């Protein structure tokens, strides 16, 4: 199976890495509930220090919380995982028997906070869901609070090709209700956020435990 894509009859795009950027429809009321849940738990414990420079990082039991907003979030995560895992199968997508474990935590960043460059070693997929993005202050760097994914090909930036963007990072401006999914081995980080309010995101690690394609 391959994600190589035919760009023309005799030209293929190779070494493809899939990226999902989806705006979840009808997310606003769920986001309101998630925001209150996360900020309430932030008040209850000090959180963890992992990739976060400042800000608050919850423990990784978020998907065990009992509230209905978490049930909705789980359904969005499942839809993303199902779609990403079926990509290589194309017309055989319905033949896949899939099982996975999901682990999630909340991040709350305020003015000046960011997340250091990292990847999620040992997992298969990473998902980021944005609950709230705060209010950006004008006059700061254009990458204010952006999520950045780095080109995973170490040599891609050594020889620039006119018209192509090999080796350059991809930056994403978060929006409430945005879900981003990508392979967990891709290095990523979050630029410092300069603004008011809270930038609240939920990060998810996906570990596939069964990937079986029925014969026929």
- For the domain made up of 25-213, the CATH class stated in words is mainly beta
| pLDDT score at 140 | 79
* Helix (H), strand (E) counts: the chain: 2, 13
72 vs 159 pLDDT, higher one? 72
pLDDT tens-place string over residues 31-89: 999 999 999 999 999 888 989 999 999 999 999 999 999 999 999 999 999 999 998 88
d(CA 193, CA 199): 8
What pTM value is reported for the model?
Answer: 0.93
Q: Find out whether 178 and 25 touch, Cβ atoms under 8 Å.
A: no
pLDDT score of 105 more than 90:
yes
Whole-Å CA distances, 19 to 128, 176, 181, 186: 12, 18, 6, 10
| Residue whose C-alpha is closest to residue 114's, from 190, 185, 39, 21 | 190
Residue ranges of domains in the chain: 25-213
């Amino acid at each position: 199976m391959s994600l190589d894509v035919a760009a023309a009859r005799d030209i293929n795009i190779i070494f493809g890495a899939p990226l999902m950027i989806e705006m979840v429809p009808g997310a606003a009321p769920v986001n309101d509930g998630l925001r209150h849940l996360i900020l309430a738990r932030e008040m209850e414990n000090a959180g963890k220090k992992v990739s976060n420079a400042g800000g608050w990082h919850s423990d990784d039991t978020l998907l065990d919380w009992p509230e209905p907003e978490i049930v909705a979030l789980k359904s969005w995560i499942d839809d993303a995982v199902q779609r990403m895992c079926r990509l290589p199968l194309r017309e055989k997508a319905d033949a896949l028997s899939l099982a996975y474990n999901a682990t999630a935590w909340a991040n709350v960043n305020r003015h000046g906070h960011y997340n250091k460059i990292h990847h999620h070693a040992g997992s298969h997929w990473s998902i980021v869901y944005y609950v709230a993005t705060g209010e950006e202050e004008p006059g700061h760097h254009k990458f204010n609070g952006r999520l950045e994914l780095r080109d995973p090909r170490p040599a891609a930036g050594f020889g620039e090709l006119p018209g192509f963007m090999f080796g350059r990072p991809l930056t994403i401006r978060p929006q409430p209700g945005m879900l981003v999914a990508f392979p967990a081995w891709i290095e990523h980080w979050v630029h410092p956020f300069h603004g008011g309010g809270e930038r609240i995101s939920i990060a998810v690690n996906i570990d596939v435990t069964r990937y079986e394609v029925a014969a026929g």
